[in-house]
Amino acid sequence: MTGASRGIGRVAAERLLRDRPDQLLLVVVRGEEAGRRLARELAERTGNANVRPVSCDLGSLAEVRAAAEAVRAMLDEREIPPLAGFLGNAGVQMASAAKVTADGFEATFGINVLANYLLLRLLADRFEAGARVVLTGSESHFGDFRHNLGLVPAPRWTSTRDLARPGTGPEAETVTAGRRAYSTSKLGVQYLVHAFARRFPELDVYAYTPGLVPGTGLARDAGPIQRFGFRWLLPLLWATPIATSPQAAGVKLAAAMTTARPGESGAYLDRGRVVPSSPESYDEEREEELWRGSAELCGVPVS
């Protein structure tokens, strides 16, 4: 599991440890010390010590490779049971489109799309048949007011190589550009889910959206006014159908991994319900281009 240290991911990790005490939870965390601390805190809060950290900065493809190698080595030595699933919850939303990963990629695309792609590619052959893969998506990939209240601009898809290139100039430094990069990356998550579902029929691969979840650290890279609003004002919407609390969203995220098979592989889970994702997200040509482009950028074979 990635993204287990805060927000809905922290709630989901605790829920998984409580509901599945017989399974080992591997949490992918940036930094060895942070990983040990998170594993210790999760064990103390849940009473289940069946959790181990894997050190990885998802903003570095070299570290993603090292993390995958560490997991493969543990599997080879039978230190851990066969992989029964993957919950890719880590994600970022930046205040601009100009920030870069360690590899020079635009940070939102690099972490939300390329890191998930590479980690799954490197571990795909080690999952049990019937294993479940869930990637956290976002309603923002629809790009309309009904799904994001106008808070995030609509995605703007181009080519994989162009999307991985950081923005330049004054426009790229704006919050609007950062949020558009976010919605575009979440459209990319939909494409990844469809492409993985086609290529790995022995796995069940889903995109999960928690809906609007104010009160988390997702907007931590925004300015002070935006952070204040997301942290303290928008949570007033928890009492309405428009928004979901981090606690409720985290419980549903964990359920996406543990409940009976929710639908056909490749489905979009809106707070646990199978619904169609955006019309734009069903573009096999884009999905295949993203697969090929990501393979090239990550240095792995296309097939």
- Nearest Cα neighbor of 257 from 39, 92, 15, 29 is 15
Tell me, yes or no, whether 63 lies in a domain: no
Strand partners, 88: 2, 135
- Nearest Cα neighbor of 135 from 186, 174, 73 is 186
Tell me, yes or no, whether 6 lies in a domain: no
Report how far Cα 285 is from the mean position of its chain's Cα atoms.
22
Tell me, yes or no, whether 23 lies in a domain: no
Confirm if 212 and 219 have CB atoms less than 8 A apart: no
Tell me, yes or no, whether 120 lies in a domain: yes
Between 61-76 and 115-123, two packed helices, what is the crossing angle to 10 degrees? 20
CA distance 219 to 227: 6
Burial class of residue 6 (count of CB atoms within 10 Å of its CB; 0-12, 13-18, 19+): middle
| 193 token code pair | 């889910």
pTM: 0.91
* Non-local CB neighbours of 198 within 8 Å, separated by 6+ positions: 266
Query: Tokens 């560490």 correspond to what residue?
Result: 70
Low-confidence ranges of the chain (pLDDT < 50): 225, 227-230, 232-233, 236, 239-240
Tell me, yes or no, whether 27 lies in a domain: no
Tell me, yes or no, whether 40 lies in a domain: no
DSSP string, the chain: -BS-SSHHHHHHHHHHHHH-TTSPEEEEESSHHHHHHHHHHHHHHHS---EEEEE--TT-HHHHHHHHHHHHHHHHTTSSPPEEEEEE------SSS--B-TTSSBHHHIIIIIHHHHHHHHHGGGEEEEEEEEEE--GGGG-SHHHHTTSSPPP----HHHHHSPP-SGGGGSHHHHHHHHHHHHHHHHHHHHHHHHH-TTSEEEEEE--B-TTSSTTTTS-HHHHHIIIIIGGGGGGSTTB--HHHHHHHHHHHHHSSP-SSTT-EEETTEEE---GGG--HHHHHHHHHHHHHHHT----
65-82 per-position pLDDT tens digit: 999 999 999 999 999 999
Tell me, yes or no, whether 10 lies in a domain: no
Give how many domains the chain has, as a whole number. 1
Tell me, yes or no, whether 241 lies in a domain: yes
CA distance 276 to 160: 24
Residues spanned by the domain of 244:
84-298
Q: Output the domain CATH number for residue 245.
A: 3.40.50.720
Handedness of CA 102, 105, 106, 112 (dihedral sign): negative
